Amino acid sequence: MYINNIKLMNYRNYQSLELDFNKKINLIIGSNGQGKTNIVESITLMSIGKSFRTNKDKDLIMFNKDSLYTNCNFSRNGINKSIEVVVTKEKKGIKINGVSVKSLHELLGILNVVVFSPEDLKLVKDGPKERRSFIDKEISQVMPRYYSLLMDYNKTMNQRNILLKSNYIDKNLLDVYDLSLSKYGSEIYVFRNRFIEKLSAISNNLHRNLTLNKENLTIKYKNQLDIDDYSDADLIKELLYQKYKETIDSDLYNRNTKIGPHKDDISIHINDIDVRMFGSQGQQRTASISLKLSEIELIKQEVGDYPVLILDDVFSELDQDRQKMLVEKLGDVQMFVTSADPLHINILKELEYSVFHIENGKVISSENGGL
C-alpha cells in the first residue's frame, strides 16, 4: 500500500499544495511551525477521518477560510483508489473513489496508516487510557465492525452514567442498559483478545531482534473478568451482565459505571518483569517501539498489504542505531518521516527516498536520492 500523491486546499497553513510521493521513503524537513507535520496529519484525516493531533475538525481549516479540501490517490493490493475529504465548520464530507459515504465507518480500513510519534515512545509507561486508545485505533483500522461496537458501547455507557446520576433510578431502563452493555462489551472483549494475542506474538519476535535475543516481550490482556477463554461471546455476555448486577450498589454510590471494557489495560513484561513498573527507560522505549512496529505486520496479515507508516519527529527521540534500524527493517513499507534536522538525510544513504523542504506552508525545494 502506498500513496501516489496528495492535494490540499486551505489545510492549516497550506492554501494550495500538490505533492507526488516516493513509494519508499519521503523525508519532510522543516523548522518547527513551518507545516511539515500538517502534511502527514492530512494523510491521517483521509485514513481515519480525523487528525491524530486534535479532535476538532475546524482547527484544520486555514485561518479566515470556511472549508478545506484534501485528496489522495493511492494503491492498495495493486489497485488504484482515491479518497477526498471536505471539512466545513459545520460538517464533513467523504468520498471514496468519487462516491460519497454516509459514515466514518465506511472509510475505516480503506487506507491503512500507522502513526509513530514521540508520544508513542511513552506508550508503556503511560496510563491505561493511552494503551486502550492504542488498541482501539488499530483494531478499528482492520476491523471496522469493532469501531461501531465501540461507539455503541460508549454511547450506552454514557446514558447509563446519566441515569446513575439522576434522582430517580428507573430499574427497568437500567436493566436495558445493562443488557446492551453486556452485548456490546462481550464482542469488544473477543476482538481485543484476538488482537492482543497476535500483537504479543509479533512484538516478541521484533523485540528479540532489537535486543539480540536477550529479552522476551510478553503482552497480556487485563480486564475485570476472571476467565481464560475469550472465544465464547455468549458466555462473556452472561458474565458481564452478572457483574453489572453485582456492582450496582457501588455504581449508584459513585454514580459511575466501574465494570466493562472502558477499564481494560494490557500488561507488558520483559523476561517476566513488569516493564512499566520495574523496567529501565531504555527498556520501556524499546518495548514501545516493538509494539508500534508490530502494528505494521499485523495489518499486513489482516488485509494482505503493508500500511503506510508515518514517523512524526521520531528520529529526534532515537539514537542513530535505532534510526537506521527503523528505515532498514521496513524496506517494504512506504514511510513519511518528518524532521527538523537536515542531517537526518544521512540516515537514508543507500536507500530510495525523496526529500521535501518545507518553509511557511510551501515546498521550497525537493530532491530524490538513494537507489
Q: Torsion angle of alpha carbons 108, 304, 314, 19, nearest 10°?
A: -70
Query: What are the residues whose beta carbons fall under 8 Å from the beta carbon of 171, sequence distance 6 or more?
Result: none
C-alpha cell at 144: 471496522
Q: Torsion angle of alpha carbons 247, 248, 252, 257, nearest 10°?
A: 60
Q: Distance (Å, rounded) from C-alpha 129 to C-alpha 152?
A: 18
Q: How far apart are the first and last CA of the chain?
A: 20
> 349-355: long-range contacts (C-beta < 8 A, 24 or more apart)?
351/24, 351/25, 351/327, 352/22, 352/23, 352/24, 352/25, 353/22, 353/24, 353/25, 353/26, 353/27, 354/21, 354/22, 354/25, 354/26, 354/27, 355/26, 355/27, 355/28, 355/29
Cα angle value 76/78/82 (rounded, 5°): 45
Question: Which amino acid makes up residue 35?
Answer: G
Question: Which amino acid makes up residue 198?
Answer: K
- 138 in Cβ contact with 298 (< 8 Å): yes
Residue of 44, 42, 46, 54 whose CA lies nearest to 114: 44
180 marked as part of a ligand binding site: no
161 marked as part of a ligand binding site: no
- 44 in Cβ contact with 113 (< 8 Å): yes
32 marked as part of a ligand binding site: yes
SS3 344: helix
286 marked as part of a ligand binding site: no
37 marked as part of a ligand binding site: yes
173-192 burial, b at 16+ Cβ within 10 Å, e below that, comes to ebeebbebbbbbbbbbbbbb
Q: Which residues are annotated as a binding site for ATP?
A: 30-37
Q: Which residues are annotated as a binding site?
A: 30-37
